[in-house]
Amino acid sequence: MAKLIDGKLISAQIKDEVKAEVSKLKESGVTVSLAVIQVGADPASSVYVRNKKKACEYCGIESLSYELPEETTEEELLDLIRELNKRADCNGILVQLPLPKHINEERILDEISPLKDVDGFHPVNVGCLSIGKPGFVSCTPAGVIELIKRSGYEIAGKECVVIGRSNIVGKPMAMLLLKENGTVTVTHSKTADLKAVTKRADILVVAIGKPKMIDASYVKDGAVVIDVGIHRDADNKLCGDVDFESVEPVAEAITPVPGGVGPMTIAMLMKNCLTSVELQK
Ligand code: GUN
13 part of a folded domain:
no
Q: If 0-12 CB within 10 Å is exposed, 13-18 middle and 19+ buried, where does residue 156 land?
A: exposed
Q: pLDDT, tens digit, for every residue of 238-261? A: 999 999 999 999 999 999 999 999
Cβ–Cβ < 8 Å for 162, 170 = yes
Cα–Cα distance list, 53 to 64, 66, 156, 162 (Å): 9, 11, 35, 31
The DSSP line for 22-77 is: HHHHHHTT---EEEEEEES--HHHHHHHHHHHHHHHHHT-EEEEEEE-TT--HHHH
Q: Give ∠ CA 150-135-147 in degrees, rounded to 5.
A: 15
48 part of a folded domain:
yes
Q: Residue 76 is part of which domain span?
A: 30-115
Show pLDDT as tens, one digit a residue, over the chain (281 residues).
Answer: 899 999 999 999 999 999 999 999 999 999 999 999 999 999 999 999 999 999 999 999 999 999 999 999 999 999 999 999 999 999 999 999 999 999 999 999 999 999 999 999 999 999 999 999 999 999 999 999 999 999 999 999 999 999 999 999 999 999 999 999 999 999 999 999 999 999 999 999 999 999 999 999 999 999 999 999 999 999 999 999 999 999 999 999 999 999 999 999 999 999 999 999 999 98
Q: Give ∠ CA 201-203-209 in degrees, rounded to 5.
A: 90
Are 74 and 183 contained in the same domain? no
Are 258 and 146 contained in the same domain? yes
Are 90 and 183 contained in the same domain? no
What's 198's domain CATH number? 3.40.50.720
Q: pLDDT, tens digit, for every residue of 190-207? A: 999 999 999 999 999 999
Q: Tell how far the Cα of 201 is from the centroid of ligand 1, in angstroms.
A: 28
Would you say how long the chain is, in residues?
281
Q: Tell how far the Cα of 96 is from the centroid of ligand 1, in angstroms.
A: 5
Phi, psi of 63 (to 5 degrees): -110, 130
Are 109 and 149 contained in the same domain? no
Are 95 and 37 contained in the same domain? yes
Q: Tell how far the Cα of 1 is from the centroid of ligand 1, in angstroms.
A: 33
- What stretch of H or E contains 92? strand 92-95
Are 98 and 146 contained in the same domain? no
Other Cβ atoms closer than 10 A to 200: 15
226 part of a folded domain:
yes
Are 230 and 146 contained in the same domain? yes
Amino acid at 211: P
Are 90 and 145 contained in the same domain? no
Number of folded domains that form the chain: 2
Are 151 and 83 contained in the same domain? no
Minimum-distance ligand 1 atom for the alpha carbon of 139: 6
Q: Which residues are catalytic?
A: 52, 96, 119
Phi, psi of 167 (to 5 degrees): -70, -30
122 part of a folded domain:
no
What's 67's domain CATH number? 3.40.50.10860
Are 143 and 38 contained in the same domain? no
Predicted model pTM: 0.97
Are 149 and 240 contained in the same domain? yes
